[in-house]
Amino acid sequence: MADVFISYARTDKPRVAPLVAAIKAQGLSVWWDPAISAGQQFDDQIEQELQAASAVVVIWTAASVTSRWVRGEARDAADRGILVPVRFDDARLPIDVRAIHTTDLDQWAEDPTSAPFKDLLRALQGVIERHRAQQSVRSAALAAPPMAASASASGAPRVAICVLPFTNMSGDKEQEYFSDGITEDIITDLSKVSALAVVSRNAAFMFKGQQFDIPKLARELKVSHVLEGSVRKAGSRVRITAQLVDVTSSDSVWAERYDRDLNDIFQLQAEISEAIVKALKLRLFPEERRAIEKRGTDNVEAYNLFLMARQSHINSDSGDARRADTVIRLCNRAIEIDPRYARAWALKAIAQVNLHFVCGRPGDDGLVAAERALALDANLAEAHAVKARILYQQNSDDEAAAEIDVALRLDPESYEVNRAAAFMSFGKQRLDDAVRYYEKTMTLLETDLNSGSMLITCYTAMGNTEASRRAAQVAFARIEKALAQDPNNGSAMAYGAVSLAALGEAERAKDWISRTLLIDPDNLTARYNFACTLTNYLNDLDSALELLGPVFETTGPALLRHAIADPDLDPLRDDPRFTAMVAAATARLEVPGE
């Protein structure tokens, strides 16, 4: 399969051929329809090559803009984020792709050294790198998928299943948290069945919002069955449809539609899980049934508030005080309704840690909430992990290490647990351990932007340039996706600047820094990351110190301790301005130097 797919109108073939030759001369493989072999099915091969390409060059001309084939290929490529449009004769672009930067090639004169062709080549290389990085993320998430041939506790072969993200049919984007929460809970429930091997949440969510071929997906995930469905929540009613497909035969093994009162949601989730087990003719042990039916709360309103809080948490950065406040408010309301909701207490503690230790806000450091969560559920791994972070910030390193060890034993697949372990390892300058945990967190949560940036720092400090570049490519692919949702996300732009600088795109990195400081000047996380970029990659120490001033004046102890250990700031260590900043912040926060 080729790197580049060329979409064009047949009448434009004479002007397309030199362009194809020029792209090939750059070392890229190209597919265009003259490559079709005699006897091959025309439509089938086009579809196969289109889906396999890392970039799609659409050549807009007066002829191609009227071609439904070209427009269809362009829409498909745009949906997948791999469209690289060019045009001749100032062709009027279709309205649905006008927002994508298009290179005018009227002046390229079939010269590969011309400015228009260089612009095209840069765009192509950027799209191909991002696509390959996304494939790398997906491969990492699927590196160890459950195998249908693995054995259950009873010794029988396990059935491998993937629960795809249920589609939100509520007509309200804000209800996405609910359909995602239902999906995650079904994944969790089915994971408790020893006869089932269930694909991880992150691997399944890689396919959210995408068009895909189920048999191909099943081969990629190495599963025998796929569960797909939809959720419609309206007022006090919820409708869930679900279908279990045997991918070897493409037959529906089981399908059902449930229309219930929202108060029945817990019973409904258990019914779905038990129906799947029954449809697969598997045995459900009594303890597994009890585990499926056990919920952190019996109150639907508290559960709904927790799902909202969790969605806000996973879509925000640790330095986002506004989001942390939102999470705390939602968790507080959930706890008021059900004071025994351990997961809500633990999530509240995580948000309080971010506010107190990262954002520098005085007051509750989260320990009370963490200990309350553990009193309610001593086996809640996230509660142990957040308590470990609090103890670490209080310089009780041995106690913190003991807590994180417990958390890792309880749930080695938890994002929060691995994130805490990575944070603590980095602070102790154990970079090998930090890399291991940050690589893990990248496979556990598709919205995580920070871990990619941290991997760039770790690999750069370890002298592993190739791994640093790979991490930057993966991180930048995620950052672009986040910015497509929120173009003014200052933290995402800060991480993006780090990635661009690590990839050698210094001017773009500087541009991102300038724009973000105009859009979000008070974002301390962004200022800190920009200082690291300017110091470690752009060799502008004065500007870095200027950015760090407000950070050290207001930040909490978590970022200060991080800065003390951060190898990105090593070029500043001997500068008296930097040492004065650190000394003043240390005295203010009473944090001992490392």
pLDDT at residue 409 is higher than 80:
yes
Q: What is the per-residue pLDDT for 385?
A: 96
pLDDT at residue 298 is higher than 90:
no
Q: What is the per-residue pLDDT for 139?
A: 58
Q: What is the per-residue pLDDT for 583?
A: 92
Ordered strands of the 55-60 beta sheet: 30-31, 4-7, 55-60, 83-87, 103-104
Q: What is the per-residue pLDDT for 594?
A: 44
Give the CA radius of gyration of the chain: 26
For the chain, counts of helices (H) and of strands (E): 25, 11
d(CA 411, CA 346): 15
Q: What is the per-residue pLDDT for 39?
A: 45
The answer to whether 131 and 55 are in contact (CB under 8 A) is yes
pLDDT at residue 155 is higher than 60:
no
Lowest-confidence segment of 113-122, 145-154, 560-569 by average pLDDT: 145-154
> Is the Cα torsion angle 208, 210, 212, 217 positive or negative in sign?
negative
pLDDT at residue 478 is higher than 80:
yes
pLDDT at residue 307 is higher than 50:
yes
3-state secondary structure 7-54: ECCHHHHHHHHHHHHHHHHCCCCEECHHHCCCCCCHHHHHHHHHHHCC
Among residues 103, 77, 71, the alpha carbon closest in space to that of 90 is found at 103
Tell me the pLDDT tens digit for each residue of 255-270: 999 998 888 888 888 8
Phi, psi of 168 (to 5 degrees): -80, 110
pLDDT at residue 75 is higher than 70:
yes
Q: Hey, what amino acid is at 362?
A: P
The mean pLDDT value for 205-213 works out to: 76
The answer to whether 486 and 470 are in contact (CB under 8 A) is no
Residue 301 — very low, low, confident or very high, per pLDDT cuts 50/70/90? very high
Which has more confidence, 155 or 267?
A: 267
Share of the chain above pLDDT 70, in %: 92
Lowest-confidence segment of 28-37, 191-200, 351-360, 449-458 by average pLDDT: 28-37
Q: What is the per-residue pLDDT for 148?
A: 40
Lowest-confidence segment of 93-107, 303-317, 354-368, 474-488 by average pLDDT: 93-107
Residue 141 — very low, low, confident or very high, per pLDDT cuts 50/70/90? low
Q: What is the per-residue pLDDT for 147?
A: 43
Q: What is the per-residue pLDDT for 338?
A: 96
Residue 158 — very low, low, confident or very high, per pLDDT cuts 50/70/90? confident
Do the domains 159-295 and 449-594 sit in the same CATH topology, yes or no? no
The mean pLDDT value for 60-65 works out to: 92
Q: Which residues of 455-493 are buried (b: 16+ CB within 10 A; e: fewer)?
A: bbbbbbbeeeeebbbbbbbbbbbbbbbbeeeeeebbbbb
Q: What is the per-residue pLDDT for 487?
A: 86
d(CA 564, CA 428): 10
The mean pLDDT value for 396-415 works out to: 91
The mean pLDDT value for 473-498 works out to: 87
pLDDT at residue 122 is higher than 90:
no
pLDDT at residue 173 is higher than 90:
no
pLDDT at residue 550 is higher than 80:
yes
- Token digits for 358? 């990262």
> Is the Cα torsion angle 152, 154, 159, 163 positive or negative in sign?
negative
The answer to whether 5 and 55 are in contact (CB under 8 A) is yes
The answer to whether 452 and 480 are in contact (CB under 8 A) is no
Q: Which residues pair with 57 in a beta bridge?
A: 6, 84
pLDDT at residue 559 is higher than 50:
yes
d(CA 55, CA 133): 13
> Is the Cα torsion angle 118, 121, 127, 133 positive or negative in sign?
negative
The mean pLDDT value for 190-217 works out to: 81
The answer to whether 452 and 473 are in contact (CB under 8 A) is no
- DSSP class of residue 157 equals B
Q: Which residues of 153-176 are buried (b: 16+ CB within 10 A; e: fewer)?
A: eeeeebbbbbbbbbbbbbeeeebb
The mean pLDDT value for 268-289 works out to: 87
Residue 303 — very low, low, confident or very high, per pLDDT cuts 50/70/90? very high
pLDDT at residue 504 is higher than 80:
yes
The mean pLDDT value for 475-501 works out to: 88
Q: How many residues does the chain have?
A: 594
β-pairing, 237-246 vs 251-261, is antiparallel
Domains in the chain: boundaries? 4-139, 159-295, 449-594
Mean pLDDT of the chain: 86
Collapsing DSSP to helix, strand or coil, 359 comes out as coil
Q: What is the per-residue pLDDT for 236?
A: 84
Counting beta carbons within 10 angstroms of the beta carbon of residue 350, is it exposed (0 to 12), middle (13 to 18) or buried (19 or more)?
Answer: buried
d(CA 410, CA 385): 10
- Token digits for 256? 């059902």
- Token digits for 468? 């640093």
d(CA 274, CA 284): 8
Q: Hey, what amino acid is at 554?
A: T
User: Is 3.40.50.10140 the CATH classification of the domain at 4-139?
Assistant: yes
d(CA 260, CA 143): 38
pLDDT at residue 359 is higher than 50:
yes
Share of the chain above pLDDT 90, in %: 41
The answer to whether 318 and 525 are in contact (CB under 8 A) is yes
> Is the Cα torsion angle 102, 105, 111, 114 positive or negative in sign?
negative
β-pairing, 30-31 vs 4-7, is parallel
Among residues 538, 447, 553, the alpha carbon closest in space to that of 209 is found at 447
Residue 531 — very low, low, confident or very high, per pLDDT cuts 50/70/90? very high
Lowest-confidence segment of 150-154, 348-352, 358-362, 558-562 by average pLDDT: 150-154
Give domain 159-295's CATH number out of 3.40.50.10610, 3.90.320.10, 3.20.20.30, 3.30.1330.30.
3.40.50.10610
d(CA 96, CA 266): 42
d(CA 76, CA 535): 41
Lowest-confidence segment of 7-16, 70-79, 151-160, 570-579 by average pLDDT: 151-160
The mean pLDDT value for 205-222 works out to: 78
Which has more confidence, 39 or 217?
A: 217
Give the helix, strand, coil percentages of the chain, each rounded to 5. 60, 10, 30
The mean pLDDT value for 412-419 works out to: 90
CATH class of the domain at 449-594 = mainly alpha
Residue 199 — very low, low, confident or very high, per pLDDT cuts 50/70/90? confident
Which has more confidence, 197 or 101?
A: 197
